[in-house]
Amino acid sequence: MKALERCGDSENSAPFWGKVAATRTLGRCPRRSPGQYHRGSAQDNSGEAAKEPERAQEHCLTNFAGGQHFFEYLLVVSLKKRRSGEDYEPTITYQFPKRENLLRGQQEEEERLLSAIPLFCFPDGNEWAPLTEYPRETFSFVLTNVDGSRKIGYCRRLLPAGRGPRLPKVYCIISCVGCFGLFSKILDEVEKRHQISMAVIYPFMQGLREAAFPAPGKTVTLKSFIPDSGTEFISLTRPLDSHLEHVDFNSLLQCLSLEQIVQIFASAVLERRIIFLAEDLSTLSQCIHAAAALLYPFSWAHTYIPVVPESLLATVCCPTPFMVGVQMRFLQEVTESPMEEVLLVNLREGTFLMSVGDEKDILPPKLQDDILDSLGQGINDLQTSEQINEHVSGPFVQFFVKTVGHYVSYIKREANGQGHFQERAFYKALNSKANRRFVKKFVKTQLFSLFIQEAEKSKNPPAGYFQQKILEYEEQKKQKKSREKTVK
């Protein structure tokens, strides 16, 4: 069941969007108001969901086998002065493709989507002034429909070419496909063409729209003509290991210590309220995606807004769990909101401005030490983003392998294939008291509940990256026992 939490109104909010913050709920949670779209996490993957329950629950963006369309829209969002007053409002000034002959329901859905997007392209309010210099920023946001389908906005905000003071604008690509590195390269091409003419963007995006999104490890090559440069061939390659292609852990490592990252993970595992503070949108967007990705194979199921627009700051007073990013300029508004069990993370200074105080004690001590030891080993020798992602993600995946990796053995199935999870026997199977205490709490979270619901429904044996790591761990334990017997 998907629903929306009403968290406060704003006079400057966009229709519908400005008055709600998203969450996905189970029956035991408070009732919430229905709505059409909310901010959220991963999108659907009908091709693999049945056989890979852990990937169906993976936060943010589920892996695609390939073949989907690259994007739905390319939009340019510009700042236009309001008729009354001196401030500006973000407005869509270019849209490709234009949709025609839509049915009434489709047209209403498109209008809701397009009316929401400008708010997230310029989340920092309306007090802008023409500038001569502005650092380009790349960030993203996620919109989730009530039916569970997701759309991701990949944004590049910059100062357009020209002389004299001018206002920044945003190129925004709306897609159902999750691959941030790939779309950053696409935005580079869009930006390069816009310096010449918007007319040069059209054939490039048309070619991209007609191309099929590549399978992991594959490349798609586009042919594009640029005046004065001739025909160019642009190759877009998808990472072979696609379960981390939607995230970059480097920003998180640059902003925080390993101990702080583990404490953020611990808070997220217990579904507490987490607020990230930074000034630039790129840092906020990358760090919050990275923090949520640490939960793999589980999916953050509550309010999730990488960059909270000014008009939605009331979100941080919601009584439900959330993971949000807020620009530093709004620090006072955030700290004045009444909040309990919140972790307030200052990414600029690398500090916690607020905390519950028990973040170091949530995880079993030995397993927490294992995570820190693994993270610290050879971290300075890593060079590529793929190496960094695998190095950071690995210890957290191993944590879940050691604590809940035996879940399949405790799903008892009826003749029709429907499974029933044996919760008590599951956590009592753990030998370590510390691990048992942790798992007894963790099984009560929506993170685990949603994951196990998918596993109960799946009639096929589990597969995917998480299951692969479980099998490797079990094989290592068998080999260890065999060696111990040989020694005796």
CA dist 389 and 248 (Å) reads 6
CA dist 487 and 480 (Å) reads 11
Residue 443 near residue 423 (C-beta atoms within 8 A) = yes
The tokens of 52 are what?
């890979």
Q: Which helix (H) or strand (E) holds 183?
A: helix 180-194
The tokens of 245 are what?
């292609």
Residue 147 near residue 171 (C-beta atoms within 8 A) = no
> What does the pLDDT read at residue 51?
33
> What does the pLDDT read at residue 192?
85
The tokens of 422 are what?
């044996």
The tokens of 459 are what?
């009639």
Place of tokens 């890979």: 52
CA dist 246 and 261 (Å) reads 19
In sequence order, which residues have a C-beta less than 8 Å from that of residue 401 and are 6 or more positions away?
Answer: 466, 469, 470, 473
> What does the pLDDT read at residue 227?
75
CA dist 182 and 205 (Å) reads 14
> What does the pLDDT read at residue 58?
35
The one-letter amino acid code at 4 reads L
> What does the pLDDT read at residue 67?
55
Give the orientation angle of helix 258-269 with respect to helix 365-376, to 10 degrees.
140
Based on the number of CB atoms within 10 Å of its own CB, is 463 exposed (0-12), middle (13-18) or buried (19 or more)?
Answer: middle
Report the phi/psi class of residue 119: left, alpha or beta, with left for phi > 0 and alpha for psi in -120 to 50.
alpha
First to last CA, the chain: 55
Place of tokens 């210099």: 133
CA dist 83 and 321 (Å) reads 39
SS3 81: strand
Place of tokens 């990937």: 55
CA dist 305 and 86 (Å) reads 28
Strand bridging mode 137-145 / 37-39: antiparallel
Q: Where are the domains of the chain?
A: 392-487
Residue 321 near residue 82 (C-beta atoms within 8 A) = no
Burial 93-132 (b: 16+ CB within 10 A, else e): ebebeeeeeeeeeeeeeeebbeebbbbbbbbebbebeeee
pTM of the model: 0.79
Q: Which helix (H) or strand (E) holds 80?
A: strand 73-81
One-letter-per-residue 3-state SS of 231-293: EEEEEEECCCCHHHCCCCCHHHHHHCCHHHHHHHHHHHHCCCEEEEEECCHHHHHHHHHHHHH
CA dist 364 and 352 (Å) reads 22
Per DSSP, 212 falls in state B
**Would you state the torsion angle of the CA atoms of residues 265, 266, 271, 277, taken in this order, to the nearest 10 degrees?**
-50
- 211: how many CB neighbours lie within 10 A of its CB? 14
Per DSSP, 30 falls in state P
Per DSSP, 213 falls in state P
Phi, psi of 357 (to 5 degrees): 110, -15
Per residue of the chain (488 residues), what is the pLDDT tens digit? 223 233 333 322 222 232 233 333 332 333 232 223 333 333 333 333 333 333 333 333 444 555 578 898 999 999 998 877 778 899 999 998 887 766 777 778 788 888 889 999 999 877 888 999 988 899 998 886 666 567 889 999 999 888 899 999 999 999 988 788 889 889 998 988 887 888 888 888 888 988 888 887 788 888 887 777 778 888 888 876 667 777 889 999 999 999 999 999 999 999 999 999 999 899 999 999 999 999 999 988 888 888 888 888 887 778 889 999 999 999 888 888 777 889 999 999 999 999 999 999 999 999 999 999 999 998 888 888 888 989 999 999 999 999 999 999 999 988 887 899 999 999 999 999 999 999 999 999 999 999 999 999 887 767 788 999 999 999 998 888 877 777 76
Residue 183 near residue 173 (C-beta atoms within 8 A) = yes
